[in-house]
């Protein structure tokens, strides 16, 4: 079953900023990044439990993360009221787990 999704406002800002940064770096690269994020979100919506739980988060919240293949980013989500909530589009080489406080506001 495919679940609907929504972005936490902070995650949406991260996505938009990263798309802009990559597009400024090279024409078309921002679109490539966006496409890869959207493919990861579709995977999460179709198979929400396929990826591992995020350590340091209460396991009952079932926050999961998928690492992107081409870009140093991951997406983190949880299932809330029969929808996927994307809580982070996080750069893998920056402040780890800075987004954990968003989980509480998404539940």
* Number of domains the chain contains: 1
Domain that holds residue 48: 5-94
- For residue 99, being part of any structural domain is answered with no
End-to-end CA gap in the chain = 21
One digit per residue, pLDDT tens: the chain, 107 residues? 789 999 999 999 999 999 999 999 999 999 999 999 999 999 999 998 899 999 888 888 899 999 999 999 999 999 988 899 999 999 998 887 889 889 887 76
Q: How is 43-66 classified by DSSP, letter by letter?
A: HHHHSTTSSPBPTTS-GGG--EEE
What's the CATH code of the domain at 69? Answer: 3.30.2310.20
């Amino acid at each position: 079953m495919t679940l609907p999704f929504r972005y936490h406002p902070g995650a949406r800002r991260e996505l938009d900023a990263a798309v802009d940064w990559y597009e400024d770096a090279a024409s078309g690269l921002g679109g490539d990044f966006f496409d890869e994020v959207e493919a990861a979100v579709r995977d999460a919506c179709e198979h929400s439990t396929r990826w591992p739980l995020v350590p340091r988060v209460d396991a009952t919240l079932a926050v999961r993360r998928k690492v992107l293949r081409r870009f140093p980013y991951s997406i983190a989500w949880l299932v809330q009221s029969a929808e996927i909530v994307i809580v982070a589009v996080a750069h893998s080489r920056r402040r780890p787990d800075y987004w954990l406080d968003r989980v509480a506001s998404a539940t």
